[in-house]
Structure 1
């Protein structure tokens, strides 16, 4: 009895000194094995919600089994029987045991007799079992059983204390790792006088002071001079002392004098008796987010001012539902409807109802194209219910993508172009009328010339040149603008005198436009080249060939220009043609250079004319 009391005392002293659960359990097994003179004992821990037994500690067992062995906690085992009974279970000889099964590893280890004593934690929760084994048949007596009951009763609270200490250490470690990793959070603790007592890494990262610099300083060092002057630091601690917590949302200063915006709080720390221990201050550095928010608000305000002042309609729709999220005030002036009519449910149908029936499906199809990620330009008519007018709208629609590249919204600009279209139509009528009158005037001049000068000699040449100018005017009318295409001018002039068919006549070149000012002189040059070819050159009989080609290239200064080559070949020039320097050649070599800053080359070869005209393009 004395020896066993000494064992209990030794175990108690060891448990007080040690904070490691495995060490305490290993010592408990050693002492109980010595006390019962078996040299073998182990502690089995219940795990997996009562489904598994884990060999947590032991003496007299293979070291490979301790801390490794797990076995199912089955119904017909001595361990399960002992936990259910709530007291010791003895087997004097497992070879004769018929009450329960014995795990095979125990038989293999030579166990003959054993006693299982359940270990309960405070509150009655089963932790596991203290199991003492013997390799000989043994009748564990009442003294043995009472000693083991006392031993397990002491083990329970010791294990519970060590488990709680382990959980506390783990919790503290998790807290330490958390606060040290939260570098964008300034966390520090002050004493009741608001002097800094603990300065965590996040506080150093946000404010710049190292812990040895900050500890002992008043927390007011983080406040701006104006807040210290107004007593904001004292108001925070007074409010937290009175109400438990106080908001801390304001600008603060760093060690380097820079400023950071903090969103946080100051919380009073009290013990169980309510005595104030100090203050916990936690704040997040939201400077970047606040500045980004300010920039966003400024951007939104600029956008609002722009859209409010714009006479064009600015709109944004959700790409999936097509519900309007934003609509500028100009909508009411352009469409003659209130914005509320199209901002709610059914807004798309209401907007479509304002579109002219003939243009409605095309306008809706454009929206579907933008939903698919395309950018479109669309013009359609609307019928304004406010005044019954038909107005032309020009819409520029485009998709807005999210970060993943998906069309999130669609937006657009709508412009009332009714007056512009009407002006363009009136201008087109005026231009057509002017060109028609120009052709009529040229006809009148030609008629007066023929009646005054007759139809022969210079009068005939004069009339032909007037007709060339008239053809140029006709092409300008045909193009509907103040431009005409080079190929059309060449073919029209040739067609007035001969059949434009290969291989006798070959015409080729890209689409190049000339202005009205260039057309007049260029047409006269083409006329002179054509009439000379008809009278003396390649178009006089079937022997010759004419090739007219042009390109749009750049000169040495990078300016766009037209280069036209007129090449006659395959015939013999008459002597009169070789020596003649008439109006046409003068027009080409002098007038084009003077009027249009053109460069010309005019060569009379043995088999025909070669002419190159290089004309700057606008």
Structure 2
């Protein structure tokens, strides 16, 4: 009868534990209650639950009653091969030790001996699936004949306890997962996350969606997901297309502009995913999207900036370049590289090394150029000029470079940039200007000498002041032609035209002018212009240009002197008029032609005047 009462009491305690396990979701409370009820059922002072930890390397006294502080929740025991606890886990059955003082099968933990434990019985706790959680152990400080019925009771208890522990462990994991999910969705306010049903009606509206779109969960509940699309996308049926794509393929991209509650627009990068149950039936849709409005605006500004830079570089006649500070290879070359360097951008970028570019630099300037680049990489600015030899003809060109560093936010130079300008023509113009200044000084001195001679001859013969003035004007016209040409030469035809253009009647057929383009130097122009002036004024006063009857023919050509040099041969012929007697007087003009040209220009002249008119032939060596 006593055994029956013990059995009933134990069954009642098992039932009490079951009720407690149903009411509680706290694993530590349930494990503690399990220990208490086991101790009561077996009539012992102590009970404990050991949990396997550290990947099966140790036990933790997870729960217990009757133990001193510092044991429960603190003490760890190694899973030694000789311990009864390890054997029970490995064998999967209870172990009874009736008197540990005489125990020779297993080693006994020292803390149990110190607590005065004499007898002990344990049983493994197995989770569903057979995985061991630990073991339940009852201890007694008195000699105790634990029997097989005690071991079976513990085994029954652990069979009930295992699923309870498994449920609570999974519940804890689920709660952790839910907490992580809650924290994620509540803090990820840049991400709009919401759920719709199979008809795309909004059912769940998470905090990120409220932050991004401005609607509260109450305001959008039951509304279609299309409410977030722009009017133009709704008009094109984009919401329905997105849903159909997700139904067919499981997901659909959602990268487009959307509407906020206040009517403003937000650019979303995300997707729509179809939600199916275990049977594969469609239950709804999950939409996750990131607010990329600011980033898209920044990218658009960057694209616009890059486009402006590209347009500037493409339009510039100067070369705009950019180099990587580490390798000094080009990252960008504007189209002006090709006309300046005589090499295509593609060819240069294909062999994109400092050495390949430096090979284009004149050997005498190469070291200086490389050193300037290195100084810019160290943070300096540089303005310098150097020479290049353009492939494939080796033409020498002068380049003016303005180089400067491009540091990052930390101040470290990441890139080098610069502007290169071809200044070859500028250099040539500057050199020529120096020559022209020197020539102008020389020409001025010569001109003063000519003016002095003209003045002496004209005024010394008591000639009219008008004659002196007209000769100065002839010199002025010659100087004007030199200035207009931009060089120190004047074309013969221009000189003749300048003298004759003052006379309206100097046109065909009365006047004919014919000859090739021949240029005279400034030294030749002054005296030759005076000779033309004298021939012209004589023709106006006495000859072919005085009346309407005469004709004037002026022609010139390239000849050859007796020494084989090129020469200018000019033939001036006046015909068809009556020659007045005074025309035969020898004056300054004839003396200039016959003597001054020979002296100043080493010219040979032949001046003839007879009843038929004037014929003058002038031949002077060309420079």
| Fold similarity call, TM over 0.5 | yes
1:396-545 to 2 correspondences below 5 Å:
396-431=402-437
Q: Which residue of 2 aligns with 1:177?
A: 183
Whole-Å Cα distance in 1 between the matches of residues 70 and 319 of structure 2?
81
Q: Which residue of 2 aligns with 1:349?
A: 355
- Of residues 250-259 and 57-66 in structure 1, the stretch that sits farther from structure 2 once superposed is 57-66
Change (3 A) 1:109 1:422: same
1:190 aligned onto 2:196? yes
Q: Which residue of 2 aligns with 1:532?
A: none
Change (3 A) 1:386 1:443: same
1:35-46 to 2 correspondences below 5 Å:
35-46=41-52
RMSD: 2.3
Change (3 A) 1:144 1:439: farther
1:240 aligned onto 2:246? yes
Q: 1:243, CA displacement in angstroms?
A: 2.2
Whole-Å Cα distance in 2 between the matches of residues 299 and 61 of structure 1?
75
> What is the SS of the residue equivalent to 2:359?
helix
1:22-171 to 2 correspondences below 5 Å:
22-171=28-177
Q: Is the 8 A contact 1:342 1:348 kept in 2?
A: no
Q: Is the 8 A contact 1:341 1:350 kept in 2?
A: no
Whole-Å Cα distance in 1 between the matches of residues 379 and 167 of structure 2?
66
1:271 aligned onto 2:269? no
Q: 1:432, CA displacement in angstroms?
A: 5.0
Q: 1:129, CA displacement in angstroms?
A: 1.1
Q: 1:225, CA displacement in angstroms?
A: 1.5
* Matched length: 445
Whole-Å Cα distance in 1 between the matches of residues 219 and 437 of structure 2?
85
Q: Which residue of 2 aligns with 1:303?
A: 309
Question: Which runs of no fewer than 5 residues in structure 2 stay unpaired?
Answer: 1-6, 451-623
1:217 aligned onto 2:223? yes
Q: 1:52, CA displacement in angstroms?
A: 2.4
- Of residues 366-375 and 294-303 in structure 1, the stretch that sits farther from structure 2 once superposed is 366-375
Q: 1:9, CA displacement in angstroms?
A: 2.3
Q: Which residue of 2 aligns with 1:457?
A: none
Q: Is the 8 A contact 2:46 2:67 kept in 1?
A: yes
Whole-Å Cα distance in 1 between the matches of residues 282 and 341 of structure 2?
68
1:2 is aligned, of 8, 12, 34, to: 8
After superposition, what is the alpha-carbon deviation per residue over 1:127-179, rounded to whole angstroms, capped at 9, x for unaligned? 11101111101121111111111111222222112111111110111011011
Q: 1:118, CA displacement in angstroms?
A: 1.5
After superposition, what is the alpha-carbon deviation per residue over 1:513-561, rounded to whole angstroms, capped at 9, x for unaligned? xxxxxxxxxxxxxxxxxxxxxxxxxxxxxxxxxxxxxxxxxxxxxxxxx
Q: Which residue of 2 aligns with 1:259?
A: 265
Question: Which runs of no fewer than 5 residues in structure 1 stay unpaired?
Answer: 445-618
After superposition, what is the alpha-carbon deviation per residue over 1:215-268, rounded to whole angstroms, capped at 9, x for unaligned? 222222211112222221122222222321111111001011110000111111
Structure label with greater radius of gyration? 2
Q: 1:433, CA displacement in angstroms?
A: 5.3
> What is the SS of the residue equivalent to 1:354?
coil
Whole-Å Cα distance in 1 between the matches of residues 407 and 254 of structure 2?
38
**TM-score with structure 2 length normalisation?**
0.68
